[in-house]
């Protein structure tokens, strides 16, 4: 018997959507609902690369990609000590990545 090491990690909405895309088509209502929900909140894959230039913590990047913030208030809920770490222009740039 082979023991497989389990990897615990967070998945972004884009990764979940990719997994659903590989699954065989199903008439399962729950699966279709989950696909719709994940697709609704997926951000552009280019946002991942664009976020690298900002000094964000990994979990903050993860939350930004999954939540698709549309206002500075949403950013404030995700980014710890936002006002001390970023200028107003940088925050607008981050926000504009998700408003496209």
pLDDT for 73? 93
Looking at every residue in the chain, the average pLDDT score rounds to 80
pLDDT at 6: 66
Tokens of 96: 């504009």
Q: In the prediction, which pLDDT does 77 show?
A: 94
Query: Who contacts 69 (Cβ-Cβ below 8 Å, separation ≥6)?
Result: 75, 78, 95, 98
Highest mean pLDDT of the ranges 18-22, 37-41, 51-55, 83-87: 83-87
pTM of the model: 0.63
Is residue 98 within 8 A of residue 70, CB to CB? The reply is yes
81: left (phi over 0), alpha (psi -120 to 50) or beta: left
- The pLDDT score that the predictor gives to residue 1 is 58
pLDDT in tens, 50-84: 888 999 999 998 888 888 888 999 999 999 999 99
CA-atom Rg of the chain in angstroms = 16
Domains of the chain with CATH codes? 11-42 (no CATH), 43-100 (1.20.1250.40)
Joined together, the tokens standing for residue 86 give: 């970023």
């Amino acid at each position: 018997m082979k023991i497989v090491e389990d990897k615990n990690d967070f998945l972004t909405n884009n990764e979940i959507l990719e997994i659903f895309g590989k699954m065989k088509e199903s008439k399962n209502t729950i699966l279709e609902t989950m696909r719709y929900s994940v697709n609704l909140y997926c951000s552009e894959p280019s946002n991942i690369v664009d976020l690298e230039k900002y000094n964000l913590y990994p979990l903050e990047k993860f939350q930004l990609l999954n939540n698709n913030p549309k206002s500075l208030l949403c950013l404030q809920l995700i980014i710890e000590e936002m006002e001390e770490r970023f200028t107003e222009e940088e925050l607008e740039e981050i926000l504009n990545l998700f408003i496209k």
